[in-house]
A and B are shown apart, each in its own frame.
Chain A
Amino acid sequence: MAEYEGVMIFGEVREGKLAAVTTELLGCGRNLADALGQELYCLLVGNDMTSLAGEAIAYGADRVYVVDTPPMKDYDTDLYLSVSEKVARQVMPRIVLFGQTAIGRDLGPCLAFRLGTAISTDCVELAIEPGSKLLLQTKPVYGDNARATFTCESYPQMATVRARVMSSPERDGSREGQIINVEASLDPPAVRTKVIKRVVEESTGIKLEDANVVVCGGRGIGSAEGFKKLEKLAEILKGAVGASRPPCDNGWVPNNLLVGLTGKIIAPDLYIAVALSGSSQHMTGCSGARNIVAINKDPEANIFKGATLGVVGDWEELLPVLTNKIEELMAGRKRDR
């Protein structure tokens, strides 16, 4: 299969810039391309993103394929699938990578099945096997209770990659690369879905993904009112509130606060886990935190296995005390300044 060459990453745009997961993919794709002695390509689909092709080159791409047209402004499975299929058949990359995002987990598997190849989703490690030159695709399975490494002998070899596990390379504005514009030939009957509304659920204050401190509540918090108490502590620490699955499923907090396998994967300096058991699915979302402090009444709770510091006790008694102490500490610091 010598005709399949190069590593292609699917780029995503957030607020007019390359998404963090995209620069991470460029870093990881660059390493794989170098290991193969081949080129790194970036595919950008959207509208009005002329300057971003240059950015992709600055972060490591050798060639950027750009599909820039008004109908591609927002993601639609059928539209994006038809253009990425077209580009993949034309370019014939050996490897195609997506971020494990709403788009990646939708488009990645569809493209793989359409091209007659396989994909591994949510990979946390990718490498080239020295002998066979196959892509080794490692992903968590069984709710992160185990990890599995897969290979695929049909091409392109495909994977979606978890956010925040690969590091973004340094931006190098002097890098040179080629920008190739691709015409999207749209077949109107191919579009069978229509987005009639897009809602961005703004969380007040600092975004969960960007916060240095996250106060996260679990099933034990018991209600939306309970989460108000977590919010107070988060506010004092200039952090954000997160939640494990039960509070989201029960509607105590919006879905976008979910930390875990099916939600956000974050890596704050301090993660305060309150009244949550610490299932493997949840730990997936927070195990990148530098320090985890756990408050739980069950000394056997799994969260204590992943935590740095723990207090065993009833959160309703402990949290107000913690909030007051931290508030005093912060107020004291303000006075000293």
Chain B
Amino acid sequence: MTAVRMIVCCKQVPDPEAPPESFRIDPERNRIVLTPGVSAVIDPYAERALEAALRVKDAQGGKITVLSLGTNLLPDVVRKPLSMGADELILLDDEAFAGGDSWSTAYALSMAIKKIGDYDLIFCGRQASDWDAGQVGPGIAEMLGLPLVTTARKITAGNGKATVDKITDDGYEVVEVSLPALITVSNEVGEPRYPTIKGIMGARKKEPVIWKPDDIGAESSRIGAAGCRTKMVKLFQPVHEGKCEIIEGNSPDEAIANLVTKLREARIV
């Protein structure tokens, strides 16, 4: 069985597990403002995409190149995929990539993937936890003319094809796709592995490769804010009216009895 050449797109995002009250909006600039203490992390969906790639590598060997696009990428954050077992890290880190949308991001990533050249499988998260769009994966597939399988939870590769369990609305499908192909990975793939000490030590020895727009032959009018095809006209926070009544009781039995009485009175049960 031949080794599988894989590329995983990993985005740096504000920690989506941060408490909701730490997300605020600057209405003047239409931007999210994070309270201090919210750390940057690799997007959890992307981490699962990486986990899916690592499983393919575990099963039949291969090489994993991680691509991260952004501005002000933090070394400790974007290196995590290396410590989890990825072989190579390429950073598309430049001010010119700032303010992009799905179009400009998919364009820049597809230009970088063209430059990498040799690959069998490209993995993306089913969406990223900041804008929750789920378009960059399909966008890259279209731009590179690759077949696409979305929301995968299990992938095996070999003999010029991949077999994918794809989540559907009422179950799943087993899909065969010819390689090279692009696969978006869903959270159902399960928890990503923790970096091992050996992995962390190994990652320290690997220097990320940094590519600028010129390195990937990207037209400046098609990246970052300049390449956007959508315009954000408003960013706001919906008002949640919090008026939960906490039912008290001197014992669990009493609290539940009071709850059931409430539910009955309100004709909820």
Residue of A nearest to B126 (CB): A262
Give residues 272-324 of A contacting B (CB, 8 Å).
279-281, 291, 293-294, 299, 302, 304-314, 317-318, 321-322
A106 in complex: contacting residue of B32, B150, B235, B269, CB < 8 Å: B150
Residue of A nearest to B260 (CB): A325
Once bound together, how far apart are the Cα atoms of A195 and B175, in whole Å?
Answer: 4
Query: In the complex the two chains form, is B187's CB within 8 Å of A245's CB?
Result: yes
Q: Known contacts A195-B174, A321-B256: does B233 contact A151 (CB below 8 Å)?
A: yes
A77 in complex: contacting residue of B147, B240, B257, CB < 8 Å: B147
Once bound together, how far apart are the Cα atoms of A291 and B173, in whole Å?
Answer: 35
Q: Known contacts A308-B244, A311-B247: does B135 contact A121 (CB below 8 Å)?
A: yes
Residue of A nearest to B181 (CB): A192
Query: In the complex the two chains form, is A311's CB within 8 Å of B138's CB?
Result: no
Contact of A177 with B by CB under 8 A: no
Residue of B nearest to A284 (CB): B132
B259 in complex: contacting residue of A101, A152, A196, A293, CB < 8 Å: A293
Residue of A nearest to B264 (CB): A329
Residues of A within 8 A of B211 (CB): none
Once bound together, how far apart are the Cα atoms of A142 and B38, in whole Å?
Answer: 13
Once bound together, how far apart are the Cα atoms of A139 and B134, in whole Å?
Answer: 13
Inter-chain CB contacts under 8 Å: number: 233
Query: In the complex the two chains form, is B170's CB within 8 Å of A136's CB?
Result: no
Please classify how large the interface on chain B is, using the bins under 10, 10 to 19, 20 to 34, 35 or more.
35 or more
Once bound together, how far apart are the Cα atoms of A193 and B178, in whole Å?
Answer: 7
Query: In the complex the two chains form, is A251's CB within 8 Å of B190's CB?
Result: yes
Contact of A4 with B by CB under 8 A: no
Contact of A186 with B by CB under 8 A: no
Contact of B120 with A by CB under 8 A: no
Contact of B262 with A by CB under 8 A: yes
From A42-50, A110-118, A220-228, give the one contacting chain B: A110-118
Residue of B nearest to A138 (CB): B234
Once bound together, how far apart are the Cα atoms of A151 and B233, in whole Å?
Answer: 7
Give residues 205-235 of B contacting A (CB, 8 Å).
229-235
Once bound together, how far apart are the Cα atoms of A117 and B228, in whole Å?
Answer: 10
- Could you tell me how many residues of chain A have their Cβ less than 8 Å away from some Cβ of chain B? 82
Residues of B within 8 A of A146 (CB): 23, 25, 32, 235-237
Contact of B201 with A by CB under 8 A: no
Residues of B within 8 A of A325 (CB): 256-257, 260
Residue of B nearest to A110 (CB): B138
Q: Known contacts A193-B149, A249-B188, A255-B167: does B242 contact A279 (CB below 8 Å)?
A: no
Once bound together, how far apart are the Cα atoms of A313 and B254, in whole Å?
Answer: 12
CB distance from B91 to the nearest CB of A (A): 23
The contact sample of 7 A-B pairs, CB cut-off 8 A, is A141-B235, A146-B235, A148-B234, A152-B229, A256-B171, A302-B19, A325-B260
State the B residues within 8 Å of A (CB): 14, 16-17, 19-20, 23, 25, 32, 101-103, 106, 126-127, 129-135, 138-139, 141-143, 147-151, 153, 163, 167-178, 181, 186-188, 190-191, 229-238, 240, 242-247, 249, 252-253, 255-257, 259-260, 262-264, 266, 268-269
- Besides A119-B135, A143-B129, A307-B244, 15 other A-B contacts (C-beta < 8 A): A102-B167, A118-B103, A142-B129, A146-B235, A193-B147, A249-B188, A250-B190, A255-B188, A262-B126, A294-B244, A310-B247, A311-B246, A311-B249, A312-B246, A313-B252
